[in-house]
Structure 1
Amino acid sequence: MTSTFSVSLVARCGLALWLSLPLLALAHGGEDHSHDEPKTAAPAAKAAPAAPAGAASLEASARLPDGSLFVPKHVQRLLALRTQPASLAALGASAELNGRVVVEPGSGGRIQATQPGTVVPAGKAFPVLGQKVRKGEVVAWLRPSAGALERGDRLAQQAEVGAQVALAERRAARLEQLEGSIPAKEIEAARLELQALRKRQAVLAASLDAPQALAAPVDGVISAVEVVAGQVVDAQALLFEVVDPTRLAVEAPVYDLTLPARMVSAEGSAGGATLKLQPAGAGRLLREQALPMRFRVLDATAPLAVGQPVKVVLRTRGEAPGAALPAAALVRDGNGQPIVWVHSDPERFEPRRVRHEALGADSVAVREGLKAGERVVTSGAALLSQVR
């Protein structure tokens, strides 16, 4: 039984091998097996490293040899660049002045010592910066200080006046006893003389050690405190300064004497805020070869401080062609020349030197350097100038 199974298994394997020979011949058909030596396999080419997933984000901006900039689109979005087409039109002429915030007459005042003395607070402490005060409110007391000789003279005057008062009282008493036998006018004169001497005695006593009230000259806030408790000050020493923040002005020097007559309106810029200004006149006395010109600040809530610099823009009569742009579009190149960036191609920006004038507190008029329709960068121009 075992031998019969072995013969059958061998027969089946031989049949399977015979059926597979045509398939092997077909699989190796057309191959050259005439050479004896095996063919050496060519070395596999070194695979190039795969690009990172964010390769597009690594693309950087660059400054080209002609001075223009190559800025990819994704970088433009990161810098939040904004452009607008240049539109040429007739724009009014203007002039720019450098001014500063000053106190308008009648809206501020100083509290000074009228004589040497010691300053003491009116309450528990001196007023602090920013504290509101009313006109006539006592903020401190000045206790006069006198030297030994001056104090001795005043005490001698008091003693002399005291003796005169005693004599006048006795004289008036004697005359009153003789009333009816002497003229009434003599009795009245004695009484008036006695009253005058008593008032003089009271004034001398009060002037020796009586403190002097230091009151606020105007309504406003305390803007300067130049004294501490117990400080001894001289006459005319500045102790406090009061300013009304709702009534401030701007003063600017004018070097063109005809400018005040040609002015139409005025605007100001300080601390990033635009101020509405009203001309308040110009002086006729040169100060450092310029005329001082004043402007009232119409916005009473503007955050201003005395002495703060203000850029004043005056609009004058006359017109000239130009393109109106935001002031943020104007930047400086490496030589300090004013330029704007023109978006010439989708990813290219060109610098243009321009001649400009102030059009308002936050706008400029480009007179030369731009053509109509050119797209100018109005937001992010300062960031473009930092590309190297």
Structure 2
Amino acid sequence: MRSALLVALAPLLFSACSGGPDSPASNVASAPAPAGLCEHEVPAAICTQCNPEMAPVFKAKGDWCDEHGVPESHCFRCNPALTFSEAPKDWCKEHGLPESKCTKCNPSLVAGYIEAGDYCREHGYPESACPICKGTSIFPPDGMRVRLASADTAGEVGIETVVAARRAFGRSLEVVGSLEFDPNRSADLAALDTSVVRSVHADVGDRVEANAPLVTLASAGVGARRAELRAAEVAASTAESRLARERRLFENGLAARAEVEVAEREAAAARANLRTARAGLDAAGASAGSSGGTYVLRAPFAGTLIERNATVGRSAEAGEVLVRLADPKAIRARLDLPEAHAASVRVGQPVTLELPGGATRSAQIDAVGAAVDPRTRTVPARVHLDAAGGALKGGTFLRARIAVGEAAPTVVIPQRAVQQVEGKAIVFVAEGQEGSYRPVAVELGAALGDEVAVRAGLQGGERVVTTGAFLLSTETRKDAIGAGCCEVE
């Protein structure tokens, strides 16, 4: 693909106004300015009135007087005592440093600066005058274009464009998290006492109804509790019979009132002991009507078995979890918010969850934790999800984008359209002529997913290069290898 790309750098339509027949100073009938100064009495090489393309450089540095339209450091109206006596005698308007120090235009200077220890290896300029470090770079210069050899070349090299759209866009926070079952709809069923598993009625993945048997166990402790229940039942029956007899005797005048009161207290105590014995068996899943030490772990609600540790014949200690049950429809996302950004997250903010496989879910923040985890230095946030159908699985790892900034109309482009050249964010705008692309410096704003807001540089509606932008960027650098098939003019 020889001659596939052509980079055309149009001549700059101005010259330093510190001398020469084309200088504005030569056409003004006034007292001559000091050497190196223009008719505006500032250094000619950096005068924004003579060189309007320098204005963005000063604005970017915060050196600008909006009232008078010149850099604050050049404004004689705001600073009456301001004077300039010397100015650079040369200036590379393409790279933003004195021509005598420009190692891009004069590569032979590099060795000398390296030897002198005055060389910025990151950017390839003298350290003392590096335009990228000092913010004086004016890349890309006016008139720069990257032109393809033909309209068909764009397809051959894989160049694709999208329209820079103006729409509502806000700042976002990207975090990680996982799906988990709602604790109020999940249960760990454990052995009540030292027991032996007699049978298992469900396996992992099985859907069970409320009160369905899950595991049958035998325990000497449960047998003892049943015996205690039987004894409590006998004691309660005996106490009720005695109370009834004492009341009859009292009515016939054959017993004292004190004897009735004693019988009432004994009957009340017996009933309380009976309730306690029954509650102990109910908690273990053991029915009062059964005999011996057998009891059953039952599902407290309808759900799906998500873990099974029970096998027939296995011995289980008291409190050992044998099965786990969860309602797959009651699932939520737990997000881990970095400590430094947790304060920007609020209940109700929109969030987009990115699940494995490319699936996404839209929801909102339901709760934000009040404490920082001392181990991970994160704050938990909770998002409830509609998991109808059981498509979401507990434990799934996910990423989330939380909209923490108010959405406002702005120009939005894909992040892959942005290239870094000469320390600036650059995009390539397709022009009317097929195969012609103009590099434009942009000021970026907030990023959301694979998109980024553009604060300055684009108006919206432009076609910017996405795929192939890196290839075009290499052609704008004099020190880059590029595509190996272009000419620089």
TM range (shorter): 0.5 to 0.7
Partner of 2:345: 260
Output one character per residue of 1:116-145: Cα deviation in whole Å (capped at 9) or x when no partner.
Answer: 111222xxx531222111222221112115
Query: Could you tell me which amino acid in structure 2 is paired with residue 238 of structure 1?
Result: V
SS in 2 for 1:258: helix
User: Following superposition of structure 1 onto structure 2, how do residues 33-44 of structure 1 map, counting pairs within 5 Å?
Assistant: none
Cα distance change, pair 281–75 in 1 and its aligned pair in 2 (3 A): same
Shift of 1:358: 4.9
Aligned to 1:213: 296
In the alignment, which residue of structure 1 is the partner of 2:393?
Answer: 305
Is the contact between residue 262 and residue 317 of structure 1 (CA under 8 Å) also seen in structure 2?
Answer: no
Deviations along 1:158-201, one digit per CA (max 9) or x if unpaired, are: 9xx7xx99xx8xxx9xx9xxx99975998996xx98xx69x89x
2-side partners of 1:305 and 1:74: how far apart?
48
Deviations 1:63-84 (A, max 9, x none): 9xxxx999x96995998x8642
Q: 2:332 aligns with which of 220, 242, 249?
A: 249
1:258 deviation in Å? 2.2
Equivalent residues in 2 for 1:76-155 (5 A)? 83-87=161-165, 91-121=169-199, 125-145=200-220
Relative to structure 1, the CA distance from residue 332 to residue 347 in structure 2 (aligned partners, 3 Å threshold; closer, same or farther) is closer
Partner amino acid, structure 1, of 2:345: P
Aligned to 1:19: none
Where does residue 364 of structure 1 map in the other structure? 451
State yes or no: 1:278 paired with 2:370.
no
Aligned-pair identity in percent equals 19
Task: Give unmatched runs, 5+ long, in structure 1.
Answer: 1-58, 382-386
Query: What secondary structure sits across from 1:306 in the alignment?
Result: coil
Aligned in 2, Cα 1:144/1:365: closer, same or farther, shift over 3 Å? Answer: same
> How far apart, in 2, do the equivalents of 1:276 and 1:261 lie?
16
Shift of 1:312: 1.4
Partner of 1:217, secondary structure, is coil
- Residues in 2 aligned to 1:378 and 1:181: alpha-carbon distance in whole angstroms: 107
Give how far 1:357 is off: 5.0
Report deviation, 1:317. Answer: 3.2
Judging changes above 3 Å, is the alpha-carbon distance between structure 1 residues 143 and 331 closer, same or farther for their aligned structure 2 residues? farther
**Counterpart Cα distance in 1 of 2:205 and 2:428:** 45
1-side partners of 2:174 and 2:349: how far apart?
Answer: 13
Distance 2:210 2:187 in 1: 10
Cα deviation, residue 370, structure 1 = 8.1
1:98-117 deviations in whole A, cap 9, x for unaligned? Answer: 11101123222221122211
- The secondary structure found in structure 2 opposite 1:136 is coil
Q: What are the ranges of 5 or more consecutive residues in structure 2 without an aligned counterpart? A: 6-145, 281-287, 471-482, 484-489
Q: Give the residue type in structure 1 aligned to 2:217.
A: L
Q: What is the DSSP-based 3-state SS (H/G/I as helix, E as strand, rest coil) of the residue aligned with 2:394?
A: coil
Shift in Å at residue 238 of structure 1? 1.5
Residue aligned with 1:97, SS: strand
The one of 447, 455, 464 equivalent to 1:375 is: 464
Deviations 1:265-290 (A, max 9, x none): 12211021111223221121221322
What SS class does the counterpart of residue 328 from structure 2 fall into?
Answer: coil
Higher relative contact order (CA 8 A, sep 6+): 1
Q: CA 1:324–1:120 in structure 2 vs 1: closer, same or farther (change >3 Å)?
A: farther
Distance 2:351 2:404 in 1: 9
Q: Which protein has the bigger strand share?
A: 1
Q: Identify if the C-alpha distance between structure 1 residues 183 and 112 changes in structure 2 by more than 3 Å, giving closer, same or farther.
A: same
**Distance between the aligned counterparts of 2:301 and 2:447, measured in 1?**
38
| CA displacement 1:16-58 (0-9 Å, x = unmatched) | xxxxxxxxxxxxxxxxxxxxxxxxxxxxxxxxxxxxxxxxxxx
CA contact (8 A) 2:206 2:305 kept: yes
- The residue that corresponds to 2:377 in the other structure is 289
> 2:165 is aligned with what amino acid?
S
Check the 8 A contact 1:324/1:359 in 2, yes or no: no
1:258–1:105 distance in 2 versus 1, CA, 3 Å: same
Contact 1:275/1:299 (8 A) holds in 2: no
Do the aligned residues in 1 keep the contact of 2:179 with 2:396 (CA within 8 Å)? Answer: yes
Alignment of structure 1 residues 195-234 onto 2, 5 Å:
209-234=292-317
Judging changes above 3 Å, is the alpha-carbon distance between structure 1 residues 84 and 331 closer, same or farther for their aligned structure 2 residues? Answer: closer
Q: Secondary structure at the match of 1:239?
A: strand
CA distance in 2, matches of 1:234, 1:253: 35
Amino acid in structure 2 at the alignment position of 1:252: L
Cα distance in structure 1, aligned partners of 2:352 and 2:180? 16
Q: Structure 2: how far apart are the matches of 1:221 and 1:109?
A: 10
Cα pair distance change 1:370/1:279, threshold 3 Å:
same
How much has 1:330 moved relative to structure 2? 8.0
| Cα deviation code 1:203-223 (max 9, x no counterpart) | 99x899421220112221111
Is 1:240 equivalent to 2:310 in the alignment?
A: no
The whole-number CA distance in structure 1 between the counterparts of 2:401 and 2:166 is 21
| Number of the residue aligned with 1:54 | none
Residue 300 of structure 1 aligns to a residue whose secondary structure is coil
- Residue 342 and residue 218 in structure 1: after superposition, are their counterparts in 2 closer, same or farther (change >3 A)? farther
Give the RMSD, CA atoms, in angstroms.
Answer: 5.6
- Contact (CA 8 Å) 2:333, 2:385: kept in 1 or not? yes
- Tell me the distance in 2 between the aligned counterparts of 1:232 and 1:76: 70
Using a 3 Å threshold, how does the CA distance of structure 1 residues 332 and 88 change in structure 2: closer, same or farther? Answer: same
